[in-house]
């Protein structure tokens, strides 16, 4: 197009796991408008407010455009050239590795990065730094999905595609405020119900918007997911509604499951969860009565002390009814940001290379060492993100490289996390804006957003899609993949690619599940992995004939109470989550004037009866405190939350909700228990 003409570029929304296809309308290298393509998966013309209006952040005056450096974090930053900044990072990382050993380093990457960037982050960490201390921001959301689904089915990914929602006969939506967190997926749920007559069971402590469409709302006490699902399993077994043929042919450990759930009678389950026993029975019959039953879930399942167990419980439910391995069935996590699936798939985790090849598997280890031309790669799984902070405290971790992630606002108990990060000898942060984490860095490297680079994202249904560079990089910035290559090269390991497509070619060579992916094949609607070879069409449904682990595993699980429940001193239960208009730490979404005109500040939801006891009126400012910190926020009186519970999101830096959260974490994946902690609310 000539410079005065509008050109259109197809790309992918990065804001949530639906991963909508976008059409950017561009003139003079400025994005004027965003629309959707009615012929393109998975959204077929639909977009939510963030996808349509949340694009202006890229031209914000706050964009970082020069590398910033300083010797210690009490000094102000000074601007540096790229040459100086990369040289300093390479020198300090090398010195720290030499002085304290490879495991004194940790890297965190992000779902805001492309697959290629996440792949290079883990390659850099393993090859150049020599450690598996690699994690990504899925640790604070869906890491329990990977742990739980891998234990049950052998693969940590969603089993079915988003299109399958519309043809399901019974939908269970558990711990997902889909309307706000994944709006286009919510449209598919509503279409299934209103147009196609599907039954809807909502499992959620809050009266979320989807409840309006539900046949049954199981409004459980936050943190009692495993007990509730055990209750459903109890009814299914007691009434003989299980799929015996499927259980016999394709699963193991059913007898143990039977024993464990025998204790969860409807009465006992009601006592633990607060859900009336009649509803438990009705929901169990409804789900077990179909062979097109689909489970969709969100962070209300994973962000608990028993988060991985909650995911395994849902898998028990799918396995016992044989609702897996066919269209319109399965168990499907809705990932928070678009590329949560991809950042995990790319091996930005402490124990696996791309597509979950284990670092301690000698064959996988040898294959990667050979391809990357190094004698040896570390075999011991590395530290998960929370373990990295503990290792800083114990003096074992000295340097970190954080790419596109803001744990100083997103992690739980952030006062503690910030204190730990501040003790690092050297911290490098790659960012678009001066985030809370960047403020603690020694070096800040200005990077690019998803309109400014080529690459791929993988959405919640495992669909790998092309991001097309639509506008030039702002002067002074670089792409994350380019920066990682520069640091590696400056440290003596030449890493160089002419284009991100070459990184994808390397991924395909090393990763059997992605062996059939290249950029040419990704044009259009992309490919849903596994894609075994260059003629393979992709795999929208997993576990058709066999599970990746052989047989599906029934995990026998007992209910484990949350780490911190309300008591006399802190009598209210705080649960946290997302809001429609905002995205994560707000650094991008709060820089869109259209969106901020509608929503730019936090309101704490509180039940009118709780507010009356405290003499609080709607809109009034209150002080909210936990054992870890306190903040001030305005209130909204609503019956959305259960009596005794309050709700806050985590999008607004002026209301840093995570000063309150903690101390619980998932027993297996170490994901913070954001959904339950005890607070008190005081009138100011």
CB of 454 to ligand SF4, least distance (A): 19
Task: Specify the 3-state DSSP secondary structure of 478.
Answer: strand
Restricting to residues 19-48, name those near ligand SF4 by CB under 6 A.
19-20, 43, 47-48
Tell me, residue by residue from 126 to 165, as one string, x for binding to ligand SF4 by CB under 6 A and - for no binding. Answer: ----------------------------------------
Restricting to residues 57-96, name those near ligand SF4 by CB under 6 A.
none
Name the phi and psi angles at 443, rounded to 5.
-135, 130
CB of 39 to ligand SF4, least distance (A): 16
On whether the CB atoms of residues 560 and 181 are closer than 8 A, the answer is: no
Which is closer to ligand SF4, CB of 18 or CB of 429?
Answer: 18
Q: How far is CA 385 from CA 130, 309, 416, 671, in A?
A: 17, 20, 14, 9
CB of 553 to ligand SF4, least distance (A): 32
Which is closer to ligand SF4, CB of 481 or CB of 581?
Answer: 581
Which is closer to ligand SF4, CB of 50 or CB of 123?
Answer: 50
Tell me, residue by residue from 181 to 220, as one string, x for binding to ligand SF4 by CB under 6 A and - for no binding. Answer: -xxx------------------------------------
Which is closer to ligand SF4, CB of 13 or CB of 344?
Answer: 13
Is residue 55 close enough to count as binding ligand SF4 by CB under 6 A? no
Tell me, residue by residue from 168 to 187, as one string, x for binding to ligand SF4 by CB under 6 A and - for no binding. Answer: --------------xxx---
Task: Specify the 3-state DSSP secondary structure of 203.
Answer: strand
Is residue 15 close enough to count as binding ligand SF4 by CB under 6 A? yes
Task: Specify the 3-state DSSP secondary structure of 266.
Answer: helix
CB of 32 to ligand SF4, least distance (A): 17
Binding residue for ligand SF4, selected from 11, 26, 41, 50, defined by CB under 6 A:
50
Which is closer to ligand SF4, CB of 31 or CB of 604?
Answer: 31
Is residue 296 close enough to count as binding ligand SF4 by CB under 6 A? no
Is residue 16 close enough to count as binding ligand SF4 by CB under 6 A? yes
Task: State both tokens at 1.
Answer: 């197009």
Name the phi and psi angles at 259, rounded to 5.
-60, -50
- Rounded CA separation 187/47 (Å): 10
Please identify, among the stretches 11-19, 252-260, 298-306, 416-424, the one whose residues bind ligand SF4 according to the rule CB under 6 A: 11-19
CB of 47 to ligand SF4, least distance (A): 4
Is residue 223 close enough to count as binding ligand SF4 by CB under 6 A? no
Which is closer to ligand SF4, CB of 179 or CB of 290?
Answer: 179
CB of 598 to ligand SF4, least distance (A): 15
- Rounded CA separation 418/424 (Å): 10
User: Residue 679: in which H helix or E strand, if any?
Assistant: strand 677-683
CB of 643 to ligand SF4, least distance (A): 32
- Rounded CA separation 20/37 (Å): 9
Which is closer to ligand SF4, CB of 418 or CB of 462?
Answer: 462
Which is closer to ligand SF4, CB of 187 or CB of 622?
Answer: 187
Is residue 13 close enough to count as binding ligand SF4 by CB under 6 A? yes
* Helix and strand counts by DSSP (H, E) for the chain: 23, 26
CB of 592 to ligand SF4, least distance (A): 12
Interaxial angle between packed helices 307-320 and 254-261, expressed in degrees from 0 to 180 and rounded to the nearest 10: 110
CB of 299 to ligand SF4, least distance (A): 15
Q: Give the DSSP letter of residue 299.
A: H
User: Residue 98: in which H helix or E strand, if any?
Assistant: helix 82-100
Q: How many whole angstroms from its chain centre is CA 531?
A: 23
On whether the CB atoms of residues 78 and 44 are closer than 8 A, the answer is: no
Is residue 412 close enough to count as binding ligand SF4 by CB under 6 A? no
Sheet with 463-467, edge to edge strand ranges: 455-458, 463-467, 527-528
Ordered alpha helix ranges (H), 239-276: 244-250, 254-261, 266-273
Which is closer to ligand SF4, CB of 187 or CB of 355?
Answer: 187
Which is closer to ligand SF4, CB of 42 or CB of 382?
Answer: 42
Which is closer to ligand SF4, CB of 11 or CB of 230?
Answer: 11
Tell me, residue by residue from 377 to 396, as one string, x for binding to ligand SF4 by CB under 6 A and - for no binding. Answer: --------------------
Interaxial angle between packed helices 225-238 and 266-273, expressed in degrees from 0 to 180 and rounded to the nearest 10: 170
Task: State both tokens at 91.
Answer: 């020198």
CA-wise closest residue to 260 among 227, 289, 284: 227
- Rounded CA separation 442/83 (Å): 16
Task: Specify the 3-state DSSP secondary structure of 189.
Answer: helix
512 class by beta-carbon count within 10 Å (0-12 exposed, 13-18 middle, 19+ buried): middle
Please identify, among the stretches 13-21, 95-103, 197-205, 304-312, the one whose residues bind ligand SF4 according to the rule CB under 6 A: 13-21
Which is closer to ligand SF4, CB of 56 or CB of 279?
Answer: 56
Q: How far is CA 494 from CA 127, 255, 324, 420, in A?
A: 11, 55, 45, 32
Which is closer to ligand SF4, CB of 18 or CB of 352?
Answer: 18
Which is closer to ligand SF4, CB of 15 or CB of 433?
Answer: 15
How many CB atoms within 10 Å of residue 326?
Answer: 16
On whether the CB atoms of residues 342 and 457 are closer than 8 A, the answer is: yes
Please identify, among the stretches 15-23, 378-386, 470-478, 500-508, the one whose residues bind ligand SF4 according to the rule CB under 6 A: 15-23
Backbone φ/ψ region at 71: left (φ over 0), alpha (ψ -120 to 50), beta: alpha
User: Count residues contacting ligand SF4 (CB under 6 A)?
Assistant: 14
On whether the CB atoms of residues 644 and 565 are closer than 8 A, the answer is: no
Tell me, residue by residue from 519 to 548, as one string, x for binding to ligand SF4 by CB under 6 A and - for no binding. Answer: ------------------------------
- Rounded CA separation 493/618 (Å): 59
CB of 14 to ligand SF4, least distance (A): 8
Which is closer to ligand SF4, CB of 35 or CB of 489?
Answer: 35
SS3 track for 490-507: HCCCCCCCCCHHHHHHHH
Task: Specify the 3-state DSSP secondary structure of 423.
Answer: coil
Please identify, among the stretches 10-18, 321-329, 364-372, 510-518, the one whose residues bind ligand SF4 according to the rule CB under 6 A: 10-18
Which is closer to ligand SF4, CB of 18 or CB of 128?
Answer: 18
Residue, CB closest to ligand SF4: 51
Binding residue for ligand SF4, selected from 31, 40, 41, 51, defined by CB under 6 A:
51
On whether the CB atoms of residues 127 and 373 are closer than 8 A, the answer is: no
Binding site for ligand SF4 (CB under 6 A): 13, 15-16, 18-20, 43, 47-48, 50-51, 182-184
């Amino acid at each position: 197009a000539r410079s005065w003409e509008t050109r259109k570029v197809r790309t992918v929304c990065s804001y949530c796991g639906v991963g909508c296809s976008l059409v950017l309308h561009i003139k003079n290298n400025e994005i004027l408008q965003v629309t959707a393509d009615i012929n393109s998966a998975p959204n077929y013309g639909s977009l939510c407010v963030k996808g349509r209006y949340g694009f202006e952040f890229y031209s914000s005056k706050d964009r970082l455009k020069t590398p910033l450096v300083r010797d210690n974090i009490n000094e102000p930053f000074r601007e540096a050239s790229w040459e100086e900044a990369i040289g300093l990072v390479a020198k300090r990382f090398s010195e720290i590795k030499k002085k304290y050993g490879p495991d004194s380093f940790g890297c965190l990457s992000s779902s805001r990065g492309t697959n290629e960037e996440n792949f290079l982050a883990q390659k850099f960490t393993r090859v150049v730094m020599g450690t598996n201390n690699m994690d990504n921001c899925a640790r604070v959301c869906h890491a329990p999905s990977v742990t739980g689904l891998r234990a049950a089915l052998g693969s940590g990914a969603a089993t079915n595609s988003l299109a399958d929602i519309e043809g399901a006969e019974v939908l269970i939506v558990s711990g997902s405020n889909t309307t706000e967190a994944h709006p286009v997926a919510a449209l598919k749920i509503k279409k299934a119900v209103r147009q196609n007559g599907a039954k809807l069971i909502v499992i959620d402590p809050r009266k979320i918007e989807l409840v309006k469409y539900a046949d049954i709302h199981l409004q459980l006490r936050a943190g009692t997911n495993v007990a509730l699902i055990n209750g459903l399993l109890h009814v299914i077994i007691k009434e003989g509604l299980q799929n015996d043929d499927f259980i016999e042919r394709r699963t193991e450990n059913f007898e143990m499951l039977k024993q464990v759930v025998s204790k969860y009678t409807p009465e006992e389950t009601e006592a633990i969860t607060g859900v009336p026993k009649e509803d438990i029975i009705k929901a169990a019959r409804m789900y077990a009565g179909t062979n097109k039953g689909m489970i969709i879930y969100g962070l209300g399942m994973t962000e608990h002390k028993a988060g991985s167990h909650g995911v395994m419980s849902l898998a028990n439910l799918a396995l016992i009814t044989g609702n897996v391995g066919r269209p319109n069935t399965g168990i499907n996590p809705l990932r928070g940001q678009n590329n949560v699936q991809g950042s995990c798939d790319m091996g930005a985790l402490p124990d696996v290379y791309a597509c979950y090849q284990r670092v301690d598997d000698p064959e996988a280890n040898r294959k990667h060492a050979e391809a990357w031309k190094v004698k040896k790669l570390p075999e011991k799984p590395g530290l998960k993100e929370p373990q990295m902070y503990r290792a800083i405290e114990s003096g074992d971790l000295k340097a970190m490289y954080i790419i596109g992630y803001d744990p100083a606002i997103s992690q739980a108990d952030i006062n503690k996390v910030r204190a730990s990060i501040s003790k690092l000898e050297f911290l490098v942060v790659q960012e678009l804006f001066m985030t809370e984490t960047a403020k603690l860095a020694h070096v800040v490297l200005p990077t690019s957003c998803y309109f400014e680079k080529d690459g791929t994202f993988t959405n919640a249904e495992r669909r790998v899609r092309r991001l097309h560079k639509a506008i030039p990089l702002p002067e002074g910035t670089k792409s994350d993949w380019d920066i990682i290559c520069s640091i590696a090269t400056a440290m003596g390991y030449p890493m160089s690619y002419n284009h991100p497509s070459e990184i994808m070619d390397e991924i395909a060579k090393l990763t059997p599940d992605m062996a059939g992916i290249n950029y040419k094949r990704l044009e259009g609607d992309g490919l849903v992995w596994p894609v075994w070879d260059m003629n393979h069409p992709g795999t929208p449904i997993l576990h058709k004939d066999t599970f990746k682990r052989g047989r599906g595993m029934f995990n026998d699980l007992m209910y484990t109470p949350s780490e911190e429940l309300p008591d006399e001193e802190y009598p209210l239960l705080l649960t946290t989550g997302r809001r429609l208009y905002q995205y994560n730490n707000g650094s991008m979404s709060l820089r869109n004037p259209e969106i901020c005109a509608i929503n730019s500040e936090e309101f704490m939801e509180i039940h009118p009866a709780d507010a009356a006891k405290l003499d609080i009126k709607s809109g009034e400012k209150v002080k909210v405190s936990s054992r870890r910190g306190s903040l001030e926020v305005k209130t909204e009186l609503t019956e959305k939350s259960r009596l005794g519970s309050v709700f806050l999101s985590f999008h607004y830096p002026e209301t840093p909700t995570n000063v309150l959260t903690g101390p619980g974490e998932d027993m297996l994946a170490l994901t913070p228990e954001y959904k339950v902690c005890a607070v008190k609310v005081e009138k100011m």
